[in-house]
Structure 1
Amino acid sequence: MAAEMKQGLIIGAAPWKNGAFLKPYLEKGHWTVFCADGGYANACAAGLEPDFLIGDWDSGDRPELDVPCVTLPVEKDMTDLQAAMDQALSMGISRLLLCGCTGGRLDHTASNLLLLEWLADRGGDGMIVDEDNEVRLLSPGTFQIEDEPHYHYLSLVPLDRRVSGVTLKGMKYPLQQAELVRGDTLSVSNEPGHQMMEITISHGRALLIRSQREEKI
């Protein structure tokens, strides 16, 4: 039996209400919590205790906690969030859930989405979540996507100029061996058709974005 990948929750500084959207994800196994700079405030709002702190503390004073902490220079070659991801990888934690990293500054949001590629190139597996969205990177292969938690929309956004051999099953709008072109919107705003869906990609990489999560009352 293969060893289970260690899991890390990377919390960035983009503000949120209370982090309740994380609950269905954190129920699955143990998570080591990394707070990137102002992400500590988000952790507090969500009732999460950090296991590791890292940042240049330009979003506030360094928290006085008895946990490992790395202080970064303000002038550096990577963001606090990427530094937290790099730290997790150095600790053998390769399955990362990123939050507090969308909204606000568009340059940070766009860069953070592309960090999923950076992570995959280093053998990691990542996902970005916020109150309304879930984002993951798909490389060539076949993937089973469960509609849990439920999101109303499901879109594929090509990262390469062309993503070919795309087959979608179990969705409202299926595709068979289609080619997606970066900049076109053919694969935007699909919807789940079944509890379990299947995506196959032959060549290229794409972001799978599930949006408008359905809140359970």
Structure 2
Amino acid sequence: MPDKDVFAFTSLISGLANHGQSADAIQLFGRMQSEKVIPNEVTFICVLSACSRMGLVDEGLRIFNCMSVVYGIEPGVQHYGCMVDLLGRAGLLEEAKRLVREMPMEPDSYVLGALLNSCRVHGDVELGKETVESLVERGLDHGGVHVLLSNMYASSNQWDWVVKVRKEMGAKKVRKVPGCSSIEIDGTVSEFVAGDMSYLRVEDVMLVLLGIDNHLKFLLLADDNTNSNMIAY
């Protein structure tokens, strides 16, 4: 590549990071620095995302700090979002919470969403509740946020809170966007939406699903009987 400018490097780093080659993306960023090519804001978003995917907390913090110290680039909300995601994935929820609190700008839905998802992964229901409240205060909540909180309560067997969250969703007329999937057979695309019974061949679909369910139950029963016979023997 004759002209290896910031745009070329950034495009390559982004492509590597988005296709599961985060280690190569970080290595390329180091090469970019060694060749005295000055990164821009987008470059840092890409390389911080790569650090997040690999769980490289120390490397991510080093790169984040060098933005302003070395290159005079003040981190924006997207850079903070990457760092919250990085810390959260690593289970450093208190550090992630502190970073959100100390941000020089208002956190957006991406930042708070990253924190909320980390709460879900690591089972921190209380911090998850605080994060949802922050989203609601800023008018950034939607159906998926409330469903996620409800699922977090369910995972920790706090069923009273599950009911409360669902009731609040009903009172606020908050609805989760239904899941959707599609399949193409012989050039024809069929789309299926969760809870939608208007599909023309829905009865055929239900019969097939019922058959699969019965077959799985039969296999499970047969497996249980085999294990029981082995124990008896």
TM-score band, normalised by the shorter chain?
under 0.3
Instruction: Name which one, 1 or 2, has greater alpha-carbon Rg.
Output: 2
- TM-score normalised to structure 2 length: 0.26
More strand by share: 1
More helix by share: 2
